[in-house]
Amino acid sequence: MNRTRVLILFGGRSAEHEVSVVSARSVCAAIDRERYEVVLAGITREGRWFLDDGDERLLSTSTVSGDDGPEVRLAGQGNHLVAEDGTLMPGTAFDVVFPLLHGPYGEDGTIQGLLELADVAYVGAGVAASAAGMDKALARAVFQAAGLGQTDYRVVRRSEWRSTPAAVLNALEQTFDYPLFVKPVNLGSSVGITKAHAAGQLRTGLDLAAKFDSKIMVEASVEGARELECAVLGNEDPTASGVGEIIPGAEFYDYNTKYIDDRSELRIPAELDETVTEKVREMAVRAFRAIDCRGLARVDFLLRPGGEVLLNEINT
């Protein structure tokens, strides 16, 4: 049987570089090698592409350095990789690209646009859906137009925060009660997120988020909420999975609790009333369709103590 050749891209020019490497390891461990042949290409933080030599050595460290393989790039047209001088790299022909790049320059529509221009088939959301899913402010505007319930939020420009910090703080404190979540608009994996209980922490959180992005999201915290998630799979007729629940091992599900320590717990299926489960699944599909997603996505929710389901974000 001819196996489908899958080019897996990982690493990338993002603060989520290490998370992408973890994702690539997981996919390589789980993929059915009887059906799929894997070609691995790691992208450094500087954007240079390196081909794995076949022993998955590029996955052995937390970052892609480029020391363990030849430098390559995507051919302008055609499903293969080429060397720096433009000559074809043997054994690099592929049928489809599986981009496992998290954050900017990978999850935001940029790599999808490159693959579209090269007329290359790829897994996952297209350019527009990827861009909307990455930009939390844009996604929230789309979800609001679609009538999907969300937490209250405000977007602060980095330039605004740095030029008039007192005015920004005053406006936020007039709008919200503490605690608040502060996060970069265009990052995931809980990178750069702060839970602020007072003005000092809010300032610190805004400064931190501003290091990562020109736009900062400030959200009302839903105290006592349960964190739920639901996968959606499909194209024209997407289907929602069962619902899982995250039991954070800290005050909130931050980068450390996701990737470093093992205090958090994932319960599948979540112990919910059937009506809540179906509400989550229905909202997940609506969110998927609202940004015109395809392939697969994970949709995150908050469940208020009173039973109201709020859409948090979509991850393409």
Residue 94 confidence (pLDDT): 96
| 137-161: average pLDDT | 97
- pLDDT reading at 83 higher than 80: yes
| pLDDT category of residue 38 using cuts at 50, 70 and 90 | very high
**Cis amide prior to 305 (ω within 30 degrees):** no
C-alpha triplet 72, 86, 73: angle, nearest 5° = 25
Residue 77 confidence (pLDDT): 76
Tokens (6 digits) for 26: 């997981």
pTM (2 decimals)? 0.90
Contact between residue 209 and residue 184 where contact means Cβ atoms under 8 Å apart: yes
| Residues whose CB falls within 8 Å of the CB of residue 35, separated by 6 or more in sequence, listed in order | 1, 3, 4
Tokens (6 digits) for 106: 């990978």
| pLDDT category of residue 49 using cuts at 50, 70 and 90 | very high
* Residue type for position 237: D
Higher pLDDT, 192 or 37: 37
Tokens (6 digits) for 201: 């922490």
Contact between residue 89 and residue 81 where contact means Cβ atoms under 8 Å apart: yes
| 100-127: average pLDDT | 95
| 197-209: average pLDDT | 97
- pLDDT reading at 313 higher than 90: yes
DSSP state letter for 306: T
Residue 290 confidence (pLDDT): 98
H or E element in which residue 258 lies: helix 255-259
Question: What would the DSSP string read from start to end of 127-139?
Answer: HHHHHHHH-HHHH
Residue 258 confidence (pLDDT): 53
Residue 66 confidence (pLDDT): 74
- pLDDT reading at 159 higher than 60: yes
- Please name each of the domains of the chain with its CATH number: 4-123 (3.40.50.20), 134-149+223-315 (3.30.470.20), 153-220 (3.30.1490.20)
H or E element in which residue 210 lies: helix 199-212
Neighbours of 112 (CB within 10 A): 24
Of the ranges 34-38, 61-65, 168-172, 217-221, which one carries the lowest mean pLDDT score? 61-65
Helix (H, G, I), strand (E, B) or coil at 22: helix
Each residue of 246-304: pLDDT tens digit?
A: 998 666 555 555 555 566 789 999 999 999 999 999 999 999 999 999 999 999 999 99
